[in-house]
Amino acid sequence: MPKILVLGEQPQMRTLISESLYLDGHQVESVADAAMLWEHLDNRQPELVLLDAHADGFGAMKLYFDIKERFPDLSVIVFQGRNYDDVARIKDAVADELVQLTTNE
């Protein structure tokens, strides 16, 4: 069961995405800020990280490049979600990425 970490400052969207992925059978944890992300990555690395592009407290693209520099093999998706309709699109991107991960193993 793939482990996914969701990082986003908007609690409703973070919860919506996390619960939706959990109901699809994934192990999901979520964090609200970059400090919590780094702590999580240092202690238990997931297969995939989702970063909210709209978060104001951290620069998602800078954080993306910092993660890839430190963990080059870790899959990272920067998502843009504003409402429930966006969740299906995000879930499709996650499914595609997880298929690629299992294919490359």
Domains in the chain, CATH or no CATH each: 3-104 (3.40.50.2300)
Task: Tell me what the mean pLDDT of segment 100-105 comes to.
Answer: 74
pLDDT at 37: 92
Query: How far, in Å, CA of 18 to CA of 94, rounded?
Result: 12
| pLDDT tens digit sequence for 38-92 | 999 989 889 999 998 876 666 788 899 999 999 999 999 998 877 778 888 888 8
Q: Name the pLDDT band for 105 (thresholds 50, 70, 90).
A: low
